[in-house]
Amino acid sequence: MFKLFVQFLCATTFASAVVASNIFIISPQASSTVVAGSNVIVEIGDLQPKQTNGTGITVDITPCASASECPGVSQGTGQVLYSGPYIAEHHNDADAVYQNITVTIPSSLSGAAQLGVSHYPLSAGGDSGLPPLEYTDTILNVVASN
């Protein structure tokens, strides 16, 4: 019985630490224009980076009817562009703690799109069916390549 209590306590402590992590998208910034089919660096910051060990993120993109009519997180994730570990680190070029992830914007997208980042326990991943511990998003303008 004591062993079960300790396991529960550890799991609860881990979940509390991760929820307090507070991820955010540094770039691309809201309303940025990106080119369909191009690579884009998604810079994901963290207010409490020491809490990200053992966590993962999913970066997805969802087309919107307009910049003001995008689906919410309750509608699920869009097309997954990245799913893997999340390790925010200090960098010499900024005060912020962040991780850069390069994703490819689908060539079929055009117009307003919601770029979302979901934060999970690493063992869960983006396709586990479990809700994310955190979610943040930004709206982009996707244009066709010339």
Which residue type sits at 87? I
Full residue range of the structural domain in which residue 115 is found: 2-143
Predicted confidence pLDDT, tens digits, the chain (146 residues)? 544 433 443 444 444 444 445 889 999 999 999 999 999 999 999 876 665 566 889 999 999 988 888 887 666 678 999 999 888 887 777 666 889 999 999 999 999 999 999 888 765 444 555 666 788 999 999 999 87
In sequence order, the 6+-apart residues with CB closer than 8 A to the CB of 46 are 21, 22, 23, 24, 52, 88, 97, 98, 99
3-state secondary structure of 41: strand
Domains: count for the chain: 1
Which residue type sits at 15? A
pTM of the model: 0.76
The CATH number of residue 131's host domain is: 2.60.40.10
User: What span, in angstroms and rounded, lies between the C-alpha atoms of 27 and 54?
Assistant: 23
Whole-number Cα distances in Å, 19 to 13, 16, 46, 52, 125: 10, 5, 11, 10, 15
User: Which DSSP helix (H) or strand (E) runs through 19?
Assistant: helix 2-19
Which pLDDT belongs to residue 51?
58
Peptide bond into 28 cis (omega under 30): yes
Quote the DSSP letter at residue 130.
P
